[in-house]
């Protein structure tokens, strides 16, 4: 296993930030993970587990060891009358894993097509899009405890999934390396086209009969039309979460801003569209140097070239301040700040 020193992370993060890692290595199996963590030189320094680098922002060089997770393999563990149990190693590319499921008619993850990153990061923030979150089809995951050097299994309840949340972002932050995730996928698809844009896209594609494959294709089309491709413009998807407010606050805002976009939640609160709040605060399409707010999707901050991580971060603070001042709503960053 090669350990590189002062290694550039520019091509390992979709923001394209030019930061370095004091040490950098790629791990392909549990033995390599164990070996590297047991080395005295690396046992007491900061560690960062890296997947596809599509949900983080480097604001400085990383003074520690970066472990790029390259664990590979997809396996159908078992099936019963109703479900397939499909296990994927953490280093598989998420979209390729979804395509494997779509091809084999394992139903459930098709709405999550084309989300960047790796399978191992998917439980970190319970990735979600177009009416589905991974928690809806999650069975269990395996994770390596960095201090104990043991492999532990977590079920859904233990992961404490929420909207863009899990125990691994909170109480267990930096304690585990997720090594595999198993999904429980249906043999009897129940198509989720509650997001209106999917129905519209299926119609414009001329699709009469819905299928796992056609929904996946529709989601890919919508995403390509709305979100900047990190291969062309550096970004990490939504930079902020959509904020939740109490119903009374929403109604108060609605009186002043009738166009405000909000969705009722089961707990009685309302989730506001942060993209709308940011656009109405005048930030859509604005740039400060090479850091910008995307011109089509105000929730996405972008690097138009050589922005530093601190410049993107400072822009995010300005956006948060404006939204707070105009609407009295606190935005929370979704992207992991390193």
List residues with catalytic annotation.
164, 238, 334
201 in contact with ligand EPU (CB under 6 A): no
Q: Is 258 exposed, middle or buried (0-12, 13-18, 19+ CB in 10 A)?
A: exposed
- CA–CA separation, 157 vs 127, rounded Å? 16
Q: Which does 69 bind (CB under 5 to 8 A by kind): ligand FAD, ligand EPU, none?
A: ligand FAD
Q: How many CA atoms lie within 13 A of 31 on its CB side?
A: 1
Residue 299 near which of ligand FAD, ligand EPU, none (CB within 5-8 Å, type-dependent): ligand EPU
- Assign residue 6 a region: left if phi > 0, alpha if psi is -120 to 50, beta otherwise? left
> Which stretches of the chain are DSSP H helices?
30-38, 40-43, 94-103, 156-159, 196-204, 212-226, 247-256, 274-280, 309-327
Q: Which is nearer to ligand FAD, 89 or 202 (CB)?
A: 89
Fill in the per-residue mask, 78 to 117: x = in contact with ligand EPU (CB under 6 A), - = not in contact.
----------------------------------------
CB 176 → ligand EPU: shortest distance, Å?
Answer: 22
49 binds, among ligand FAD, ligand EPU, none (CB under 5 to 8 A by kind): ligand FAD
Over the Cα atoms of the chain, what is R_g?
Answer: 21
- What is the token pair recorded at 28? 């392909």
CB atoms within 10 A of CB 153: 11
Q: Taking the CB of residue 2, how many other CB atoms lie within 10 A of it?
A: 6
Chosen from ligand EPU, ligand FAD, none, partner binding at 273 (C-beta under 5 to 8 Å by type): ligand EPU
HEC per residue, 95-149: HHHHHHHHHCCCECCHHHCCCCCEHHHCCCCCCEECCEEHHHCEEEEEEEECCCC
**Residue 238 vs 269, nearer CB to ligand EPU:** 238
Does residue 122 interact with ligand EPU by CB under 6 A? no
Q: How far is the CB of 248 from ligand FAD (least distance, A)?
A: 29
One residue of 99, 124, 298, 320 binding ligand EPU per CB under 6 A: 298
Give whichever of 83 and 243 is closer to ligand FAD, judged by the CB atom: 243
Q: In 10 A of CB 134, how many CB atoms?
A: 24
Supply the minimum distance, in Å, between the C-beta of residue 16 and ligand FAD: 11
Query: Minimum distance between the CB of residue 214 and ligand FAD, rounded to whole angstroms?
Result: 19
Q: Which residues bind ligand FAD (CB under 6 A)?
A: 14, 48-56, 69, 90, 115-118, 120-122, 124-125, 127-129, 176-178, 227, 230, 235-237, 336
- Tokens at residue 52, please? 């596809």
User: From CA 138, how far away is CA 122, in angstroms rounded?
Assistant: 10
**What residues line the site for ligand EPU (CB under 6 A)?**
129-130, 226, 237-238, 241-242, 261, 273, 275-276, 279, 284, 297-299, 334
């Amino acid at each position: 296993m090669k350990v590189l020193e002062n290694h550039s992370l520019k091509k390992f993060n979709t923001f394209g930030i030019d930061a370095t890692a004091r040490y950098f290595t790629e791990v392909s199996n549990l033995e390599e993970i164990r070996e590297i963590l047991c080395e005295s030189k690396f046992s007491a320094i900061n560690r960062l587990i890296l997947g596809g680098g599509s949900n983080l922002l480097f604001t400085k060089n990383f003074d520690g060891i970066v472990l790029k997770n390259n664990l590979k393999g997809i396996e159908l563990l078992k099936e019963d009358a109703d479900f397939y149990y499909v296990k994927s190693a953490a280093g598989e590319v998420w979209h390729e894993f979804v395509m494997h499921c779509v091809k084999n008619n394992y139903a459930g993850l098709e709405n999550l097509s084309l989300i960047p990153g790796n399978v191992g990061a998917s439980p970190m923030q319970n990735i979600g899009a177009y009416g589905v979150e991974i928690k809806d089809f999650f069975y269990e995951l395996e994770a390596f405890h960095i201090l104990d050097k043991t492999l532990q299994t977590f079920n859904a309840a233990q992961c404490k999934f929420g909207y863009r949340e899990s125990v691994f972002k909170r109480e267990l932050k930096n304690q585990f390396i997720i090594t595999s995730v198993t999904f429980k996928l249906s043999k009897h698809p129940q198509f989720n086209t509650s997001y209106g844009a999917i129905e519209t896209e299926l119609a414009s594609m001329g699709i009469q009969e819905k299928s796992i494959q056609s929904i996946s294709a529709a989601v890919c089309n919508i995403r390509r039309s709305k979100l900047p491709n990190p291969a062309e413009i550096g970004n990490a998807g939504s930079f902020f979460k959509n904020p939740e407010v109490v119903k009374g606050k929403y109604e108060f805002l609605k009186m002043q801003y009738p166009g405000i976009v909000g969705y009722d939640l089961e707990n009685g609160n309302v989730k506001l569209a942060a993209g709308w709040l940011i656009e109405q605060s005048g930030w859509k399409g604005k740039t400060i140097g090479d850091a910008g707010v995307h011109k089509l999707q105000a929730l996405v901050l972008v690097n138009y070239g050589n922005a530093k991580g601190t410049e993107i971060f400072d822009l995010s603070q300005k956006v948060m301040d404006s939204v707070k001042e105009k609407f009295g709503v606190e935005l929370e960053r979704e992207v992991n700040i390193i």
